[in-house]
Structure 1
Amino acid sequence: MDALKALEICGGAARRPSLAKLGVDDAALRRAVRAGVLQPDRGLYALPTAPPDLVAVLLCRELLTCSSAATAYSLWSLPSDGRRHVYHRRQEVVGDEAVHHPGLLLPPSPVQPVAALADVLIHALRCLSFAESLVMVECAVGRGDMTVDFLRRRLTGHRNEKARAVLDWVDSGADSLLETLARTYFRQAGIQVQSQVYLERVGYVDLLLNGWLVVELDGRHHAEWKQVQKDHRRNNESVLQGYTALRYYYADVVYRPQEMVEQVLAVLNRRR
């Protein structure tokens, strides 16, 4: 394989063994270097456009895991504090700017410095907050890439009680991390929740609470006017059919969940 193409597959940078697995030989690497490919370290090759964070991980011989590996597996994720979450076989090598995660169950990715998906999720369950780990796990489970049983069997003992408690709330059917979080917060408040319910002349609604309160969730920061009009018409039609409709946005679900739940409970209690 062409070295430039192999580097693109690896995300822009890779060490020689990973490139060899893709069929890149030494002659191809020498040609690539003459063509402008960088060598930040012995045995390390990088395109000029390679992400600096990726090059730094490879230089340190680390593996990304936990929240830092969410992008590599296209997992839902919430904003982080910016620290790098990594695995290194020698923990003392990891600097203060990174979070070290010990232990791997499975071989890592063959072409990128990323731990296996199972290890990424287990590290997330042990390390991150309830919401952060929940959305990552539910994304993987919803796609069929992981099962709750597989993770639960590997999270035994007292020290993993927190992780298992997150798994108790993992479900399927959510289209976004906002649905996952809102559905969970409502259920924790004792509310009956159905996800992705079809209503005549309205279409699918994100959540239906107690059989009559529609909750729609919108993650867009700058909605187009045509979409806003469409959403308003859907809300109006649901009200005409006897439902009550509420709409919440990313900031409501992620940063003000308690306020959102209190508003929903107020509406539900008023009807009772």
Structure 2
Amino acid sequence: MDIIDFLLRQGGAARTGQLTKAGFGRAALDRAVAGGQVVRASHGVYSLPAGSSLRDALTHGGLLTCASAAPIYNLWVLTESCALHLCRSHPVATSRIVEHGRPKHPRHRWLPVAGLADVLLHSLRCLPELESLVMVQSAVGRRDIELEFLYARLQGRRNGRARAVLDLVIPRADSVLEVLANTHFRRAGLRLRRHVFIPGVGEVDFLIEECLVVETDGSTHFEPQAVKRDQRRNNRSVLGGYLVLRYYYADVVYSPDEMVAEVLAVLELRRNGKFDAS
């Protein structure tokens, strides 16, 4: 294994001690730096030329956590964090760094990253509601962590907001859009069922008030074959007596009020007989 392969396995950066233990001595490091394969990011830290949050964590002497650790654990996110979220034993006021104190659970086995439990708990106390919700939903949905475990560590009045986010987690969400749409629909007082099987159609994302099918479509639904499949599903849903609405990422994430307003408007039209054959 050469030094580049080793650094790739370490997420792009490593301390001198790690490199020495792996068999890369001072001469090898100096040659790699001179050849432009590796950069000396800071005292005792070497990395690949392309910057990374892992390199920043080592440089600042901390562990990535909260939103900054989401990519390491393949957690859903709504936006990329501009700040660097770190756990540090001895925090120092630094611009662009959000401090989360010392970790309370086992850290990542080899990367400078807090453990999943700390990452999620920090997100629940730090991030806006929906941003932390999608991170927790993805981890709980994969059974990487138990919801009850998080509840147990968020007792007391000061954690009320975090527990309220946990209350929004659903047993199954196949995409970030589903968990967000579910939250918006529930808050609008809509009666709904998720992942309902309709004969001739298949499983639909939401069945609202037992008459309106709502599908939330990600980027894969723009592929030509997917578009045709979805249109045929729409047709079969209508033939089965259902109304159908479809929403995409921009609708669910950036215009949820408009989405909910349209759903409510369609339901009102139905109650007023606008879709009756007579």
What is the TM-score of this pair, normalised by structure 2?
A: 0.87
1:160 equivalent in alignment to 2:177: no
Structure 1, residues 31-58: CA drift from partner, whole Å, max 9, x if none?
355344333334322223x434432222
Q: Which moved more, 1:215-224 or 1:65-74?
A: 215-224
Question: What is the one-letter code of the residue matched to 1:62?
Answer: G
Question: What is the one-letter code of the residue matched to 1:253?
Answer: V
| Equivalent position of 1:69 in the other structure | 69
Of 3, 26, 31, which aligns to 2:28?
31
| Structure 2 unaligned spans of 5+ | 272-278
Is contact 1:16–1:43 with CA below 8 Å preserved after alignment?
Answer: yes
Structure 1, residues 154-203: CA drift from partner, whole Å, max 9, x if none?
11111110000111111122100000110121112222222222222222
Is contact 1:18–1:110 with CA below 8 Å preserved after alignment?
Answer: no
| Equivalent position of 1:270 in the other structure | 269
Q: Distance in 2 between matches of 1:193 and 1:17?
A: 56
Q: Distance in 1 between matches of 2:221 and 2:168?
A: 31
Q: Distance in 2 between matches of 1:19 and 1:238?
A: 60
Corresponding pairs, count? 267
Change (3 A) 1:170 1:177: same
> Deviation of residue 217 (structure 1)?
1.0
Question: What is the one-letter code of the residue matched to 1:181?
Answer: L
Is contact 2:67–2:81 with CA below 8 Å preserved after alignment?
Answer: no
CA RMSD, 1 decimal? 2.2
Paired residue secondary structure (2:251): helix
Change (3 A) 1:18 1:191: farther
Question: What is the one-letter code of the residue matched to 1:155?
Answer: L
Is contact 2:215–2:245 with CA below 8 Å preserved after alignment?
Answer: yes
Question: What is the one-letter code of the residue matched to 1:113?
Answer: P
Q: Distance in 1 between matches of 2:95 and 2:38?
A: 30
Change (3 A) 1:110 1:94: farther
Is contact 1:88–1:94 with CA below 8 Å preserved after alignment?
Answer: no
| Structure 1 unaligned spans of 5+ | none
Is contact 2:82–2:96 with CA below 8 Å preserved after alignment?
Answer: no
Change (3 A) 1:52 1:17: same
Structure 1, residues 224-245: CA drift from partner, whole Å, max 9, x if none?
3332222111111111111111
Change (3 A) 1:40 1:242: same
Question: What is the one-letter code of the residue matched to 2:270?
Answer: R
Q: Distance in 2 between matches of 1:247 and 1:181?
A: 14
| Equivalent position of 2:45 in the other structure | 44
Change (3 A) 1:47 1:212: same
Identity of aligned residues (%): 49
Paired residue secondary structure (2:193): strand
> Deviation of residue 255 (structure 1)?
1.2
Larger radius of gyration: 2
Question: What is the one-letter code of the residue matched to 1:186?
Answer: F
Question: What is the one-letter code of the residue matched to 2:28?
Answer: R
Q: Distance in 1 between matches of 2:194 and 2:29?
A: 51
| Equivalent position of 1:13 in the other structure | 13
Question: What is the one-letter code of the residue matched to 1:256?
Answer: S
Q: Distance in 2 between matches of 1:128 and 1:38?
A: 33
> Deviation of residue 269 (structure 1)?
3.0
Structure 1, residues 3-47: CA drift from partner, whole Å, max 9, x if none?
433321111112245557xx61454x7535534433333432222
| Equivalent position of 2:86 in the other structure | 86
Q: Which moved more, 1:193-202 or 1:248-257?
A: 193-202
> Deviation of residue 208 (structure 1)?
1.5
Q: Distance in 2 between matches of 1:146 and 1:221?
A: 28
Is contact 2:83–2:96 with CA below 8 Å preserved after alignment?
Answer: yes
Is contact 1:65–1:123 with CA below 8 Å preserved after alignment?
Answer: yes
Give runs of aligned pairs for residues 1-272 of structure 1, distance below 5 A. 3-17=3-17, 24-27=22-25, 30-31=27-28, 33-35=30-32, 36-48=37-49, 50-80=50-80, 82-91=82-91, 93-220=92-219, 223-272=222-271
